[in-house]
Amino acid sequence: MRVRYRVLVLLGAALLGGCVSSLDQVTRTGQSAVQMRSYQERAFDTADKEQTLRSVIATLQDLNFVLDKADLDLGMVTATKLSGYQLRVTVTVRPRGETQMLVRANAGYEEEVVKDPKFYRDFFAALEKAMFLTAHEVD
């Protein structure tokens, strides 16, 4: 009975997922990289990487996240929010030319990348307030 149920679940998943090998998940994106970056990235007019990261951390704390990791040299922060659900965000900060910092956020929710542009807009709106700077869209 258990075995048959398992077969049925697999069959159901295959019908729905179009027979994707689970290993394909390693390199699967579902969207073009350009498309994803368009809503996950913003540029800020500052050359101060440390201050930008500190503002990202403060913003995440304001949004009720608890940090998982932070690294100034690599320019990255990972944090988790628990609020009846589990949401994990990684934010990277790297220089863009001499005068700007490029901030990229990407979030995972229930084993999927969050693809809702509004989600990222909300994050950058909160970050703008913490930075006292405007977030520029990046082409």
Partner 1 sequence: MRLPRAIRQGLTSAALVALAFPFLGGCQTPPESAMALSPDAMKLRQLQTRRVEGIDEKALLAASVGVLQDLGFNIDESETQLGVIVASKKRSAIDTSDIAVSALESLIIGMVAAALSDDHESEGDINFDVTQKIRISIVTRPALDSSGQPRPDAQVIRVTIQRLVWDDEGNLTHAESIEDPKVYQKFFDRLSKSIFLELQAE
DSSP assignment of the chain equals -HHHHHHHHHHHHHHHHTS--GGGGGT--SS-HHHHHHHHEEEES---HHHHHHHHHHHHHHTT-EEEEEETTTTEEEEEEESSSEEEEEEEEEEETTTEEEEEEEEEETTEE---HHHHHHHHHHHHHHHTSPPEE--
Q: Which of 37, 38, 47, 63 binds partner 1 (CB under 8 A)?
A: 63
Under the binding rule (CB under 8 A), the answer on residue 109 touching partner 1 is: yes
Under the binding rule (CB under 8 A), the answer on residue 110 touching partner 1 is: yes
Neighbours of 93 (CB within 10 A): 24
For partner 1, the closer CB: 18 or 97? 18
For partner 1, the closer CB: 45 or 67? 67
Binding mask 75-104 for partner 1 (x = CB under 8 A): --x-xxxxxxxxx-----------------
In whole angstroms, the minimum distance from the beta carbon of 123 to partner 1 comes to 5
CB distance 49 to 72 below 8 Å: yes
User: Which residues between 3 and 22 bind partner 1 (CB under 8 A)?
Assistant: 4-5, 8-9, 11-13, 15-16
Residues that bind partner 1 (CB under 8 A): 4-5, 8-9, 11-13, 15-16, 50, 53-54, 57-58, 61-72, 77, 79-87, 107, 109-112, 114-116, 118-120, 122-123, 126
